Amino acid sequence: MKKDVFLFVFALFFLLSCSGDSEKVPPNVAQAGDSTANIEIVIDGFAGGKVMLYRQYGQYMANDKMDSLEVAAGSSMTFRKDRPYPSGMYYLVMPDRSFIAFILEKDQNMKLRTSISDLTGNMVISDCIDNELYYKDVAFETVYRPRAEALLEARNLLPGGSTEWNVKNDEYNQFVAERKAHIAWFSENHPKSFFTQFKIAGQNPDVVQKFKADGSIDTLAQVSQYRRDFFNNTKINDERLLYTPVTGNKVRKYLDELIPFDTDSAIACINDLIARTSGSRECFKYVLNQCALKFKEPTFIGGDSVFVYIIDNYFTAQKAWWETPESLERIQKLAAEMRPSLVGKTAQDLRCRSVTGASESLFDLKSRIIALYIYSVECDHCRERTPSLVKVFSEWKSRGLDVFALCIEKDESKWKGFVKQYGMGGMHNVFDPAYESQYYRKYHIDNTPELYIIDASRKIIARDLHPGDLPKILVKYL
């Protein structure tokens, strides 16, 4: 797993976006009365001021405060409550945005002492085994990671299979074995600790070597095995892990690196991932939202179909319990707008006015591949990308590519000026200021320019492409 201590790229962003104060509390005490949470923190050299307590959520530090205190210079601070804080990773954030991290689970009577000069390195824990283990791990990772990364970088600069490469590789494997032994120590000595549980849950599986019949490495089989093993030690429905770095990092790695670039396979993986949240409404909510965000901007052709599938099957009044009826209506409306022009659907005809004033139809084009290019004269991205499309068209038109370029601008003179300025004369340039073709109902246009690719059977084979990516499609089909 990526750095599972507290090196979070976006932590400051979430801190700076916070607004509002929690309920006023007496100096140095979060809440008076008999307590089951009594967390004393001493920071030598702290100049005083307001400190805020945040909890982890998914990959990031949540932007809603769990508590806050006004602390005088040289004073200790005590968070005291009559019932425990929810389990998770917490961050005490100081006025200068520096922070210390600690774990809260069942035992919330503890003392943490450190100094402002080195908040992590000088930390001393009393009466809390979870945090003693956490900071033992932080100390190890602080030394281990830079050395391991440097060794790996040095190895990768050497010719693969050379004597020098093998020496460095053996050294690196020894480092990896050291880390595994370090992690195994927690399991052997403190198996019931919450820290041990989330440390084990955050580990990635080993790569299992797979070989083809000819002895070469079977990369596809290795990736498939790794994907199957990825959550072996991670309970995605353990709500406590949602409030540590574990769930967020594991889910994002799975979505970013392990989802197959194939619609049906991707949907199967999404269903499996969501099924793992069974029993936890909060984990279901988090994972479903992460899946939807990932496929709202898909990274492979056909990925938009996965997004629509997620909306149709999960964003319902029965399942998406956190959404308002109005929000669900907007989400489902978006899916309905996308559905007619998904990859694999049959394209719909458009009849518009050409530069000469004649009526021209998309389906009049008989080329093997048709690029439907929908753009606006005033769009900066359209100005940037149109020259790329013109270049690709000039190189491929003799091999079966045609372009139906629909301008959604209402000013005819601007449209014709754009066509002339960018050398689009060889394309089928059309204009529909009165929306007579109803292009906006037939093709989803979330941003301009929009580029759909249609084959000879009038099937949509790609959409939302950059013109520079078009040759990859043309090589395959032409």
Over residues 447-476, the pLDDT tens digits come to: 999 999 999 999 999 999 999 999 999 998
Q: In the prediction, which pLDDT does 182 show?
A: 96
Q: In the prediction, which pLDDT does 24 show?
A: 32
Task: Give the span between the Cα atoms of 305 and 177, in whole angstroms.
Answer: 43
- When pLDDT is averaged across residues 151-160 and rounded to a whole number, the result is 91
- When pLDDT is averaged across residues 239-267 and rounded to a whole number, the result is 96
Q: In the prediction, which pLDDT does 27 show?
A: 34
Confidence of residue 478 (pLDDT cuts 50, 70, 90): confident
434 burial type by CB count under 10 A (0-12 exposed, 13-18 middle, 19+ buried): exposed
Q: In the prediction, which pLDDT does 64 show?
A: 81
- When pLDDT is averaged across residues 95-106 and rounded to a whole number, the result is 95
142 conformational bin, left if phi > 0, alpha if psi -120 to 50, beta if neither: alpha
**Token pair 């070469």 is at which residue?**
216
- When pLDDT is averaged across residues 131-154 and rounded to a whole number, the result is 94
What sign for the dihedral angle of Cα 439, 442, 448, 450?
negative
Helix (H, G, I), strand (E, B) or coil at 23: coil
Q: In the prediction, which pLDDT does 14 show?
A: 29
- When pLDDT is averaged across residues 122-150 and rounded to a whole number, the result is 95
Alpha-carbon 441 to chain mean position: 30
What tokens were used for 61? 């530090």
Domains of the chain: 11-127 (2.60.40), 351-477 (3.40.30.10)
Which residue type sits at 15? L
Which residue type sits at 472? K
Q: Are the CB atoms for 29 and 62 separated by under 8 Å? A: no
Over residues 385-401, the pLDDT tens digits come to: 999 999 999 999 999 99
- When pLDDT is averaged across residues 70-74 and rounded to a whole number, the result is 92
Strands 401-407 and 369-375, sheet pairing: parallel
Q: In the prediction, which pLDDT does 2 show?
A: 33
Q: In the prediction, which pLDDT does 215 show?
A: 86
201 burial type by CB count under 10 A (0-12 exposed, 13-18 middle, 19+ buried): buried
Q: In the prediction, which pLDDT does 35 show?
A: 52
255 burial type by CB count under 10 A (0-12 exposed, 13-18 middle, 19+ buried): buried
Confidence of residue 160 (pLDDT cuts 50, 70, 90): confident
Residue 8 pLDDT exceeds 80: no
Task: Give the span between the Cα atoms of 9 and 7, in whole angstroms.
Answer: 6
What tokens were used for 215? 């002895």
- When pLDDT is averaged across residues 409-428 and rounded to a whole number, the result is 95
Task: Give the span between the Cα atoms of 209 and 226, in whole angstroms.
Answer: 10
Alpha-carbon 300 to chain mean position: 15
Q: In the prediction, which pLDDT does 404 show?
A: 98
Q: In the prediction, which pLDDT does 32 show?
A: 33
- When pLDDT is averaged across residues 18-35 and rounded to a whole number, the result is 35
Alpha-carbon 3 to chain mean position: 16
Helix (H, G, I), strand (E, B) or coil at 64: coil
- When pLDDT is averaged across residues 318-339 and rounded to a whole number, the result is 96
Q: What angle do CA 456, 366, 473 make, to 5 degrees?
A: 45
Residues 6+ apart with CB under 8 A from 185: none
The more confident residue out of 22 and 426 is 426
Q: In the prediction, which pLDDT does 29 show?
A: 36
Range with the poorest average pLDDT among 14-28, 70-84, 279-293: 14-28
Provide, for the chain, the percentages of residues in helix, strand and coil under a 3-state DSSP scheme, each rounded to the nearest 5: 45, 20, 40
Cα–Cα distances (Å) from 168 to 141, 173, 209, 475, in that order, read: 20, 9, 20, 41
Helix (H, G, I), strand (E, B) or coil at 113: strand
- When pLDDT is averaged across residues 373-384 and rounded to a whole number, the result is 96
Tell me the percentage of the chain whose pLDDT exceeds 90.
85
Q: In the prediction, which pLDDT does 17 show?
A: 31
Residue 12 pLDDT exceeds 70: no
Residue 413, phi then psi, degrees to nearest 5:
-65, -35
Q: In the prediction, which pLDDT does 408 show?
A: 94
**Token pair 């595994």 is at which residue?**
180
pLDDT, mean over the chain = 90
H helix intervals, 190-302? 194-201, 219-229, 239-242, 245-253, 263-275, 281-296
**Cα Rg of the chain (Å, integer):** 29
* DSSP state, residue 29: B
Neighbours of 217 (CB within 10 A): 11
Catalogue the E-assigned strands of 345-415. Answer: 351-354, 359-361, 369-375, 401-407
